[in-house]
Amino acid sequence: MTIRVPLREQRDASYDILIAPGLLAELPALLKRHCPAPAYAVISDSHVAKLFGDEVLKRVSGTGYRAELLTFPAGEWNKTRETWASLSDRMLAAHFGRDCAVIALGGGVVGDVAGFLAATYLRGVPYVQVPTSLLAMIDSSIGGKTGVDVPAGKNLLGAFHQPRLVAADLNLLTSLPPVQLSAGLAEAVKHGAIADAEYFTFLERDYAAILSKHGPALERVVRRSVEIKAEVVAEDERESGRRAILNFGHTIGHAVEATAKYEALHGEAVAIGMAYEARLAEALGIAAKGTAERITSLLERFRLPLERPHGASVDDLIKVMRGDKKARAGEIRFALPKEIGAMHHDAKHGWTVAVEEERIAKVLDAGQP
């Protein structure tokens, strides 16, 4: 299955997302077609490299290309400037030239770091995303957002740098631990909530089959989520308009990640964020009654947390939100649902809503409006 991301601002940067079992075996041919280069830096983390690193190196180098595997310790807490600098120095020491390319082999953290590395190395080299987690397949590998975390917040240093190709090998999901599967499903819930009520209903109805990794059900999740993300990104490449809807759950979610020192997985933090932000939308009179209940109920079915961790105080969460890159003129802004499958929008303020800190604190403190 091929889903095209037809970018409007940079048409020559448009790219394909391929979804199928067995794509890892076809990687050399895919690279030759979509991202030819004499040398490839394969960027992965310590966990994924043990599972798939040798296979990718053998397949790519076996066709005559030069390929080197560069890894860093797994975990969101390693998505830092220091990791980016270390990888950059290692590529320079290995004499990768401007004609090289980067392969991002891993989950969301690897994709963000490797993409930022590709965006900045020798002022920019091409790269390919080979996502190995559900979250990366359906969300973070698509759209060209790259970056690293800093003490002030998540993804505050980065760049838009579109991949030449996203190759989502469905076979890689068979070894995905249940907690990682659930974390990825948080983004699927988000996609249904923001853009497709029918898809949301499918997730409600077939949640058990999805959790058991039933092939057709899981393939439908990947396909539909990718279609939704690709459609939104194609319309708004640099998040100047409708792409903001993809941030539903992320304003609070990113704050949860930062205050909890990244002990919660990204998908878990987004689930918590969606639960609170949906309640906030109802409290503001933006969302139809019952919207928050459907969202939280589905998140619960997918075994995702709904409440902020004990270590994430209301004051600390709001402090982090003030520094969020989505904040404008000192205002904390949210992308909020109007109903399942549709997001709030108005002509004056666009796709986000400024909310007073007192109102945010009330919802965070009570857990309900």
Question: Which of the residues are catalytic?
Answer: 123, 145, 187, 229, 239, 243, 247, 250, 254, 266
SS3 219: helix
Tokens representing 344 are 């709030």
Distance CA 101, CA 274 (A): 36
CA gap 45, 47 in Å, rounded: 6
The Cα 83–Cα 307 span in angstroms is 31
Give yes or no for a contact between 163 and 141, defined as CB atoms under 8 angstroms apart.
yes
Tokens of 124: 């920019």
C-alpha 23/C-alpha 46 separation (Å) is: 22
- Both structure tokens of 8: 């409007």
CA 49 to chain centroid: 20
> Could you tell me where the beta strands, DSSP code E, fall in 189-290?
none
Cβ–Cβ under 8 Å, residues 93 and 120 = no
- What Å distances lie between residue 97 and 59, 101, 123, CA to CA? 21, 9, 11
Backbone angles phi, psi at 58, to 5 degrees: -65, -40
